[in-house]
A and B are shown apart, each in its own frame.
Chain A
Amino acid sequence: MSSLALLAEIRQSSERLPYEVLKLAEPLLNNNQLTSSTEDAWLVYEQVFLAALDEGQIDLAKSLLHILRTRFPASQRVKRLYGLVNEAAGHPDESQNLYAEITSADPTNVLALKRVIALLKAQGKLALAANELVAYLDTHGNDFEAWLELSHLYLAHHMYRQAAFCLEEVILQQPANHYFHLCYAEINYSMGQWDIALKEYLRVVELSTDNVRGFYGIKVTADRIIEMLASGARAGKSRREPQALSGLENVPQVPVLEKLSLLATERLVAAYSANNAAAAPAKALEDWLKQ
């Protein structure tokens, strides 16, 4: 595959691989292969620019930004990149002024609004960033990326209930993406909402094939619920009153839970033996499953 195609793939997956991007782009830049006739040339320039900032190569970033600026002199998107250079070079105040300038000229510039929030995050003012993000989401409620960011800001403060709410919004917009269901399940597990966690883990393995993290979740959650029900039954018997257990309102019957746990065990063993995984982790896994 050509390096341009690889770069496009990295761009589309939105993974942050600055070192790989720079390595792929180096021959293109040195041989002047990136001309305006190349497909997506300007997107590649922006991508390499961001990778250079991530790697701390400010000079390279500035030379690329100069090229972009000469091509798009009036672009707000390029203007925002100047703010990024200042952020990477350690001048957050200048970036802030620039973003304020962009947003006062065009209050609907979503990218600049998000940068303001990211800048607060970069300065460590997470609570302030969360407040700003809530205000931003008031007007841009269909921005799933922002909901995801807010969810992670809440997670940084261990505010699981709020984080779960944000992920619910994300799932509403992308219901078929199993990674969001997985994260939602894990947050619910952390909160002790076993019933929702189990349901969401099951959704994860429904939406993907042999998702190991999902099956681990099913096994852990199902075993946990069985354990809680057993101890709850004991407590109820001794006290002669059914004890209301939070997070266990809508769980399936114990036989079903046992079957789920067994199924997860089977699939985990199959997944690890199919991939020719190293013997030691597979052995550790089997020991853990047999507990």
Chain B
Amino acid sequence: MEKFTTLQSKAVPLPMENIDTDQIIPARFLKVTNKIGFGNNLFRDWRFDDVDKPTASFVLNDDTYSGKILVAGDNFGCGSSREHAAWALADYGFKVIVSSYFADIFKGNALNNGLLPIQVSPEFLKEVLGLVTKRPETKIIVDLENQTIQVDGIDLKESFEIDPYKKLCMINGYDDIDFLVSNKDKIEAFEVNRSKKESIVI
């Protein structure tokens, strides 16, 4: 996994609420067996019309906006557990998603792919969405070590929460598999010591 420490970037505003993972990557693109190229189909049905022509009004087709930060409405990533949604956002080039709320599974999937979900207050989100929309050149600075997000040049800053273990993983580029495999002795001991009635291996 790629390491993440700080990021300074312009941002793309997507104020819609309850953006589900079916919108992020529709099911018909989940038929492949690798993780490559999902960015091409990110927000496919909002980004392209039914004859695959780019939809001019959609923000990713608007040259005014660019950057590695997506600022989205409340409850981002709800619905299906498909990790393909995190792969698509990362493959497209996003490193950070800012919202006032993230669905659990999406949040975990993002963190497992070096994509940082930053939960901010609804007030902060509203201000940032407004600013980024009106002034597309606005830069946002994310500092994972200090757990802060701020708008460059003005007094708009907030701290964010992240699980200390996950923070360590992001900063060092570790993932959970190495950690779990290194605990195999404990896991095997657990299997041996649990009572028969609790064990399901039949």
A, B: real partners: no
**A interface residue numbers (CB < 8 A to B):** none
